[in-house]
Structure 1
Amino acid sequence: MPFRLASWRTALTAGFLLLLVIGLAWPGGRQMAIQQLQHFLANLADWGPWGPPMVGLLFIPVCLLFLPGSWLTLFAGFAFGKTWPGFLASFACVSAGSTLGASLAFLAGRTLLRDQIDAWVHAQPRFQLLDAKVRQRGFWIVFLSRLSPLLPFNLLNYAFGITQVSLRDYVLGSWLGMLPGTLLFLSLGTALGNLAEVWTERREQPPLHWLLLSLGVVATLVLAMVLGRIASRNLAEGSTVDATPSSPTTPPAAKPTER
Structure 2
Amino acid sequence: MWMAGMAYGYVKGMLLVMAGVSVGVSLPYFVGSVFHAEIQRLLEKYPKEASILRLAGEGGWFHQFRTVTLIRISPLPYIMFNYAAWATNVRYTPYLLGTWVGMLPEVFIALYSGILIRSFAEATQDKRSLTTKQIIFNVVGFCASVGATIFIGIRTKKRLDRLRQEESML
Q: Distance in 1 between matches of 2:11 and 2:129?
A: 23
Q: Distance in 2 between matches of 1:218 and 1:92?
A: 25
1:228 to 1:171, Cα distance in 2 relative to 1, 3 A: same
Query: Is the contact made by 1:144 and 1:235 (CA closer than 8 Å) also made in structure 2?
Result: yes
Q: Distance in 2 between matches of 1:215 and 1:129?
A: 35
Q: Could you tell me which runs of 5 or more consecutive residues in structure 1 were left unpaired when the two chains were aligned.
A: 1-72, 247-259
2:38 match = 116
After TM superposition, give the deviation of residue 129 of structure 1 in Å.
Answer: 4.5
Query: Is the contact made by 1:122 and 1:128 (CA closer than 8 Å) also made in structure 2?
Result: no
Q: Distance in 2 between matches of 1:88 and 1:132?
A: 34
Deviation per CA, 1:117-155: give whole Å up to 9, x if none. 22322222221453145302211110100111x211111
1:54 match = none
Query: Is the contact made by 2:4 and 2:16 (CA closer than 8 Å) also made in structure 1?
Result: no
Partner-residue secondary structure (3-state), 2:58 = helix
1:151 to 1:75, Cα distance in 2 relative to 1, 3 A: same
Aligned pairs, how many?
A: 166
CA RMSD across the alignment: 2.1
Structure with bigger gyration radius: 1
Give % identity.
25
> Matches of residues 1-259 of structure 1 in structure 2 within 5 Å?
73-77=1-5, 79-80=6-7, 86-110=9-33, 112-125=34-47, 126-136=49-59, 137-148=63-74, 150-244=75-169
After TM superposition, give the deviation of residue 200 of structure 1 in Å.
Answer: 4.6
After TM superposition, give the deviation of residue 99 of structure 1 in Å.
Answer: 2.5
TM-score, length of structure 1 as denominator length? 0.58
Q: Distance in 1 between matches of 2:92 and 2:69?
A: 13
Query: Is the contact made by 2:52 and 2:160 (CA closer than 8 Å) also made in structure 1?
Result: no
- After the TM superposition, which parts of structure 1 deviate over 3 Å for at least 4 consecutive aligned residues? 196-201
After TM superposition, give the deviation of residue 230 of structure 1 in Å.
Answer: 1.2
Query: Is the contact made by 1:80 and 1:87 (CA closer than 8 Å) also made in structure 2?
Result: no
Q: Distance in 1 between matches of 2:102 and 2:41?
A: 27
Q: Distance in 1 between matches of 2:86 and 2:155?
A: 25
Q: Distance in 2 between matches of 1:231 and 1:118?
A: 26
After TM superposition, give the deviation of residue 217 of structure 1 in Å.
Answer: 1.9
1:114 to 1:203, Cα distance in 2 relative to 1, 3 A: farther
1:209 to 1:116, Cα distance in 2 relative to 1, 3 A: same
Q: Could you tell me which runs of 5 or more consecutive residues in structure 2 were left unpaired when the two chains were aligned.
A: none
Query: Is the contact made by 1:106 and 1:161 (CA closer than 8 Å) also made in structure 2?
Result: yes
After TM superposition, give the deviation of residue 201 of structure 1 in Å.
Answer: 4.4
More helix by share: 2
If asked which structure has higher relative contact order (CA below 8 Å, sep 6+), I would say 2
